[in-house]
A and B are shown apart, each in its own frame.
Chain A
Amino acid sequence: NAGVTQTPKFQVLKTGQSMTLQCAQDMNHNSMYWYRQDPGMGLRLIYYSASEGTTDKGEVPNGYNVSRLNKREFSLRLESAAPSQTSVYFCASSEGGGGPRAHTFGSGTRLTVV
């Protein structure tokens, strides 16, 4: 099983450029998440989706948008990138259906905004 697949693995953007980070899972999970990881701050939730067609803001949603395209795919869009968005981004999924479940993580996208 591929699990959770993220693309791209690395990206460099100029300030003001836009891009979409893609995420797909093949485990038939209901819930999907986007986190950012910054040194000394652990993982912080950007957005999450409990099911197809629903999304909810996390701890740090400003500057981001998401789309739950179908059950498998959950994309994260930066409309106008800023240097503060330089980070490692992780997509994750879980079974859902009530109560917190263990997450399965992708391998991450390292984004640099210059």
Chain B
Amino acid sequence: AQSVTQPDIHITVSEGASLELRCNYSYGATPYLFWYVQSPGQGLQLLLKYFSGDTLVQGIKGFEAEFKRSQSSFNLRKPSVHWSDAAEYFCAVGPPNFGNEKLTFGTGTRLTIIP
């Protein structure tokens, strides 16, 4: 069965510093990969997605993610964080099978920004 691991439960970063959130997946083939962000009291918003092609994917709000097949990873990065980036971030995977649309979500990483 597919699975997603986000090893970091909570990360604290200073405003203006760079950020990397880790995501590792377990699946036989290359899955579809997603990153979502959840602000307090809100639903999840799609940051970016990877289906195929260029392994460096650009998303909204200045985020990017890099797919590394050899490491089964899809880490999220941002060069310089802003206080408004404080939120919870979820990685998700979906199998590349026609007719199977279910996503599996990681347990999330909470990001705290300090001034």
Contacts and interface: CB of A to CB of B under 8 A. Distances in A.
Interface in A1-48: 4, 31, 33, 35, 40-45, 48
A91 B99 CA distance: 20
Contacts, number: 68
Interface residues of A, number: 28
B43 A48 contact: no
B22 to A, nearest CB: 15
B32 A42 contact: no
Interface in A80-114: 90, 92, 94, 96, 98-108
A43 B97 CA distance: 21
Contact of B103 (A50, A90, A96, A100): A100
Candidate in A48, A100, A101 with the most chain B CB atoms within 10 angstroms? A100
A104 B45 CA distance: 7
B95 to A, nearest CB: 7
A41 B46 contact: no
Given A42-B108, A99-B94, A105 B45 contact: yes
Contacts of A50: 99, 101
B43 A100 contact: no
A90 B101 contact: no
B71 interface: no
B46 to A, nearest CB: 5
A74 B105 CA distance: 21
Contacts of B102: 33, 45, 48, 58, 100
Contact of A102 (B9, B43, B46, B107): B46
Contacts of B46: 102-104
Interface of A: 4, 31, 33, 35, 40-45, 48, 50, 58, 90, 92, 94, 96, 98-108
Of all A-B residue pairs in the complex, the 4 with the closest CB atoms, nearest first, are A100-B94, A105-B43, A42-B107, A43-B105
